[in-house]
Amino acid sequence: MFRKLTWLRRFGRPGPESILNPPPHVPLLNVAARTSFLVLAEEPDREIVLGTLVAAPPGWRPSGKPTPDGFKAFFVTTNHPGFAPAAMNFRIEDAGPAACTLTTETRVYATDASTRRRFALYWRVIYPGSALIRRMWLRAIARRAKSL
Q: Measured between alpha carbons, how far is 73 from 105 in angstroms, rounded to an integer?
A: 20
Dist CA 104 CA 91 (whole Å)? 6
Cα distance between the two ends of the chain: 24
CA angle 32, 35, 36 (to 5 degrees): 85
Reported as type and span, the H/E element at residue 100 is: strand 100-108
Cα dihedral sign, 23-28-32-33? negative
Give, for all 148 residues of the chain, the pLDDT tens digit: 666 766 676 677 777 777 777 788 888 788 888 888 888 899 998 999 998 888 988 888 877 777 778 877 877 788 899 999 999 999 999 998 888 899 999 999 999 999 999 999 999 988 888 888 888 888 888 888 888 7
What pLDDT was estimated at residue 9? 66
Q: Give the pTM.
A: 0.78
- Return the pLDDT at 145: 80
DSSP letter at 89 equals E
> Residue 67, SS3?
coil
If DSSP states are collapsed to H, E and C, what string results for 11-62?
CCCCCCCECCECCCCCCHHHHHHHCCCEEEEEECCCEEEEEEEEECCCCCCC
Phi, psi of 56 (to 5 degrees): -150, 155
By C-alpha distance, which of 11, 7, 39 is closest to 20? 7
For residue 59, the model assigns a pLDDT of: 85
Which pLDDT does position 17 carry in this prediction? 78
